[in-house]
Amino acid sequence: MVNRIEKYFDKKHVVIAVIAVLTLLVYCNSFTAPFTLDDFGSIVNNYAIRNPLDFKAIWNFYSNRFVLYFTLSLNYFFHGTSVAGYHITNVAIHILNGFLVYLIINSILGLTHFRHKLYGRYRNIVSMLSSFIFICHPVQVNAVTYIVQRTASLAAMFYFLAVFLFIKYRLTDKRQYFVLMMVAIVLAMFTKENTITIPFMLLVIELMFFLNDGKTSWSKRAAVFFIIFATVPIIPCTNLLLKGYSQSDSNVSFKASTSMDRLQYFYTQLNVIRVYIRQLFIPDNLNFDYSNDFPISKIIWDNYSYISLVILLIIGLVGLFSIRKNKLVAFGIFWFFIGLSVESSFISIKDVYFEHRLYLPIVGFIIFLAGFAFTELKHVTRLYLFKKPVLFFVVSSCCLICIYSGITLQRNYIFSDGIRLWTDVVKKAPASDRAHSVLGTKYLDSYEADKEKNKEHLSLAEMELKKAIDLNYNNSTAHTNLSKVYFLKGEYEKCIEEANKANRISKSKYAYHNLGLAYKKLGRIDEAIDAFLEGYKLDNKCSFILRELGYAYYEKKDYENARYYFEEYLKLCSYGKKNIEEKLNEINRR
């Protein structure tokens, strides 16, 4: 039976079809998950992606992630703000990545060193089940269902492609594979900064699997890697090393920070990596956003960081000592650490913990599992469970895939509703001001969508936003949205107070909008106009600011200015077009 399955999975069209079906099954309930967190700054409110042919705007917005934002721009062109199209694209990328993982592992197990080993003889089964684990593992949800984290899956796609093409080049010596590999590397480096590790990964593959091939001269090998490593400067290394990089939107509350000392970040990451490893084995207590709830280690002795260091050193030593005895185990360990090296080392990033950062390293974990199951466990399985280790691998992998699939479906269910998602985050990270702030905002949005049905959500929004401010007074987003809550409750003086607090922390067009609306309700039209104009200075293409300026000037009987802002609004937006055109007709008749 095992041999028949092995032959069946040798057909590539069968492999891609099975991977596609499995992926669609475990992500079938993800296509309605709403925009959240950085999706708004990167997609919904991002003017740079409105036109996929405006390469300059996309480049100026985020040059290091040009490829990512170009794909988001294409989605926006075809789907606007309808989330389904974005999710379909993300799932399609995940399917392709599953197939690439299959090809990589299959190619490695087909090398001379592995061909006569047990997992080499059953490489199609091993590769297929490994790709299934990659597809179904619940830590992948953040990189697939969280739309903007396409950056993790898309970068991984080019990363995997570069690795596979490198192996093909080394096996065939065909120049076209090398050229395509270089293209994949460049595309990867313009998708996400952690792909700077590709040359190092390829070097490890060369040293572990091709060093003694007997047909490649050292001069040729040096020339090949000189060209490969020449891609490293594509990513502005100085900025990356000195300042870190933002994985967040344009809102000040979500920007990367360099206030954390590099050593503090490193000590904290020791614990983060330990938690990552635990969640790869046992994916419990998964959380979309730990934010500032994860304990920071200021010294090595804080939060048992020294114990984590010892554990990681032991794992690293296992990798080194396994190079001769079990190359698959060693390579899996090296892949894992190389894949994490940019985001979990000395380069400070404000958000110390995010599950989507495991999207690339998880392949190392899967390779390690395959190597360990076929070698270290073979005596145990023969004695107690199965006569053939391959049967043990198949049965245990299928059990894992079923468990992982169930958890992934459950995680996608949580993602499918904003309030449900952020309630889960608050439950697991109660000290996170960002979690309370976003949950409050979701309650606020829900109230505005249906005020009769969701009456209680306004009070819940106020409660969560106040909790966020109690945890972090400098959370300007929480102050801004609390000002909106007060406006909707008719408490205009409180609205003004909160909006001013928000602007003292960080000026925001949203806070100025709320401020202007409150002044307008109080009949203080000049102060309302001043507030709207401050918002206009921050974003002169903001439709709601332009609309309110038009109405405010109309109320003041300054018809020339009213005409100007109404016309500017209509250039950008058609919402409420009829009412504004009526106002313009009235102005023109005067």
Position 377 scores a pLDDT of 59
Total-model pTM? 0.89
Q: What does the block give as tokens for 234? A: 């594509």
Letter string b/e over residues 338-355, b meaning 16 or more CB atoms within 10 A of that residue's CB? bbbbbbbeebbbbbbbbb
Least confident span in 305-309, 389-393, 557-561: 389-393
All domains of the chain in start order, with CATH: 2-415 (no CATH), 432-539 (1.25.40.10), 541-590 (no CATH)
Q: What does the block give as tokens for 81? A: 């703000």
Least confident span in 131-145, 298-312, 373-387: 373-387
pLDDT digits (tens, 9 = 90+) for 286-310: 999 887 778 888 889 988 999 999 9
Backbone angles phi, psi at 347, to 5 degrees: -90, 105
Position 120 scores a pLDDT of 57
Gap between the Cα atoms of 570 and 467, Å rounded: 39
> Which of 204, 223, 220, 339 is CA-nearest to residue 280?
339
CB atoms within 10 A of CB 106: 22
Gap between the Cα atoms of 506 and 253, Å rounded: 9
Mean pLDDT of 111-127: 73
For the chain, the C-alpha Rg in angstroms (whole number) is: 27
> Which of 154, 49, 47, 41 is CA-nearest to residue 92?
154
Mean pLDDT of 158-173: 95
Mean pLDDT of 325-329: 88
For the chain, the average pLDDT equals 87
> Which of 64, 63, 85 is CA-nearest to residue 72?
85
pLDDT digits (tens, 9 = 90+) for 477-532: 999 999 999 999 999 999 999 999 999 999 999 999 999 999 999 999 999 999 99
Position 316 scores a pLDDT of 94
CA distances, 473 to each of 336, 482, 527 (Å): 38, 12, 26
Terminal CA-CA length for the chain:
87
Tally of residues, the chain: 590
Position 387 scores a pLDDT of 56
Position 237 scores a pLDDT of 52
> Which of 88, 73, 93, 80 is CA-nearest to residue 19?
93
CB atoms within 10 A of CB 209: 20
Cβ-contact 126, 119 below 8 angstroms: yes
| Dihedral (Cα; 527, 528, 534, 535), 10-degree rounding | 170
Position 90 scores a pLDDT of 97
Amino acid identity, position 542: C
Mean pLDDT of 322-328: 87
State yes or no: pLDDT of 420 exceeds 50. Answer: yes
Mean pLDDT of 210-226: 84
Q: pLDDT > 90: what percent of the chain?
A: 59
Residue 254's contacts (CB-CB under 8 Å, 6 or more residues apart) are 37, 38, 41, 246, 248, 350, 434
Residue 190's contacts (CB-CB under 8 Å, 6 or more residues apart) are 63, 64, 65, 66, 67, 234
- Residue in this structure with the two tokens 């023969």, named with its chain if needed: 382
Position 296 scores a pLDDT of 87
CB atoms within 10 A of CB 64: 18
